[in-house]
Amino acid sequence: MTNTSKIRVRFAPSPTGYLHIGGLRTALYNYLFAKKHGGTFILRIEDTDQSRFVPGAIESLIQSLDETGLTPDEGVFLKKNHGSGIRDQETKESKSYPGIIESGDFGPYIQSERLDIYKQYADELIASGKAYHCFCSAERLTEVREAQAKNKQAPKYDKYCLSLAADERKQKVTSGVPCVIRLNVLEEHGDVVFADLVRGEVRIRTQDIDDQVLVKSDGFPTYHLANVVDDHLMRISHVIRAEEWLPSTPKHILLYEAFGWEMPQFAHIPLLLNPDKSKLSKRQGDVSVEEYLKKGYLKEALINFIALLGWNPGQGSVQEIFSLDELVQAFDLGHVHKAGAVFDLQKLDWMNAEYIKRLPVDELYEKISTGGFLEKTLIAAAPEAMRSEEYLKRVLSIERERLAKLSDIGENNPFFFAAELSYDTGLLHWKGNAPDMTREALTKSEKILSDLNDLEWSKKEILEKILLEAAGERKGDLLWPLRVALTGAERSPSPFEIAWVLGKEESLKRLENSIKRLS
Ligand code: GLU
């Protein structure tokens, strides 16, 4: 049973760029687990690897999480988005990153602001003899590694500096000889064993574990030290992270033991894979959450899709569409798969289309206009009248059924936004009908449509009824030329729908043009 009173989980990205789709899934599973158990979801920034730091990356990570609705309860926030749940009196400005605020009782939540804390704990391990200074040069370490490779041994530090006399070590440290701090992993420790909530029992031989570096020569802690110290001090109850971190976990467990701390529970979630089963990478498509949102994937669809990459609700459930609240209710770490999950873009497109279909036209319009899609798509070049809110809403009510993403607006039916149509005049003839018959049909349509009043034009059902009646038995004779005249396209929605969207003036103009082509 999960003890729900103390559930605290964290998403702990390193600011090396944008929020990766895999990162979003890790954040989501943490979020769902926290919400399901009434726990706390924390956002912590792991920026101790200065060489991988990318300016602006923290801000972009937080922004993407906010945009997908996974706002943390505690940790770091963007000042400009302040108000998404945290109260003024609880926040502090970050010392090193303007524009970022921190909220919660266990801060700072940015590791580069916690260097003193890591130093204190590294010193504690040195004092208790659980860790030691190592002064070996890069050259020596390479020699050791090469010799081990020759002897077919696993690459491991040979504990050379552990054999230095205490005085010598002290003297080197005080005189400032460059050094790192390593954990002393005892060979007699026996296997490291832990129960992973996804993978079951995991067992690693201690002799395969290196005397890991805890503090680097630049004085910065390594990921391992900072991660364990923070998870302990921030009272993290469950570490839910990607499977790529599994090899680090035995090292972390040895650290918890060295400190004498209680361990959190671990859950390693499966890798995300390209369709060819390689690890999901940029080379085979977009991996940045921001890119997906920019292309017009709805956050609800993205979250729903990502949730199902590596998890299912179990009990033979076939439900595929889940709101965030439904995911919270259904989520269970016990149903996270062990095998890697393939990122299937077609499935995402399908899911996004399902979400778009369910949107009321007003909301869809709102998303298209605030998402910048009016500027990015062919709408931007359309005549004034075809960019009005009213016109676009009519287009959307027709297109909604067929859009895979918001940026596809107009793509399937470019004639909605064209000032002039260009098409082969021959296309106007229905099944080998003579030009005279086509002209007659087009003139008839023109007459019918020009006689209709505004009220009749306001309902596509009325247009449909009148035109169908006029077409009689041989529908194609009348309706095909009309449809082509209005669209210039071989395939399109029905002529009633198109005429209704275009309106009286534009429809008659297009009909006239088509008649001119035939004379
Ligand atoms: N900083 C690590 C990352 O970038 C965190 C790994 C963990 O959750 O322990 O993913």
Catalytic, out of 92, 170, 282, 447: 282
- E-only strand ranges, 197-263: 200-204, 213-215, 238-242
Q: Residues 125-164, buried b or exposed e (16+ Cβ, 10 A)?
A: bbeeebbbbbbbeeeeeeebeeeeeeeeeeeebbeebeeb
Q: Catalytic: 282? A: yes
Instruction: Tell me which CATH code domain 425-517 carries.
Output: 1.10.10.350
Other beta carbons within 10 angstroms of residue 282's beta carbon come to 11
* Ligand 1 centroid to residue 187 C-alpha, Å: 27
What pLDDT shows up at residue 89?
52
Q: Cβ(227) to ligand 1 under 6 A?
A: yes
Other beta carbons within 10 angstroms of residue 203's beta carbon come to 9
State whether CATH 3.40.50.620 applies to domain 114-269. yes
Strand duo 100-103 + 74-78: pairing: antiparallel
Q: Residues 211-239, buried b or exposed e (16+ Cβ, 10 A)?
A: bbbbbbeeebbbbbbbbbbbbbebebbbb
Separation between Cα atoms, residue 67 and residue 364, nearest integer Å: 17
What pLDDT shows up at residue 3?
47
CATH of 360-413, one of 2.40.128, 1.10.8, 1.20.58, 1.25.40: 1.10.8
What pLDDT shows up at residue 49?
86
Using the atom order of ligand 1, give the atom closest to the CA of residue 223: 1
Separation between Cα atoms, residue 28 and residue 22, nearest integer Å: 10
Could you give the C-alpha distances from 467 to 227, 404, 438, 452, 482, in angstroms and in order?
70, 31, 16, 11, 10
pTM value?
0.90
Domains 8-112+272-335 and 114-269 share a fold: yes
Q: Residues 344-362, buried b or exposed e (16+ Cβ, 10 A)?
A: eeeebbebbbebbeebebe
Which ranges of the chain have pLDDT less than 50? 1-4
Domain range summary for the chain, segments of one domain joined by +? 8-112+272-335, 114-269, 360-413, 425-517
* Ligand 1 centroid to residue 185 C-alpha, Å: 23
Take residue 359 and report the two structure tokens written for it: 């949107």
What pLDDT shows up at residue 92?
86
What pLDDT shows up at residue 379?
82
What pLDDT shows up at residue 204?
87
What pLDDT shows up at residue 4?
47
Using the atom order of ligand 1, give the atom closest to the CA of residue 23: 10
What pLDDT shows up at residue 1?
42
Q: Evaluate whether 165 touches 235 at the Cβ level (below 8 Å).
A: no
CATH class entry, domain 8-112+272-335: alpha beta
Peptide bond into 108 cis (omega under 30): yes
* Ligand 1 centroid to residue 13 C-alpha, Å: 5
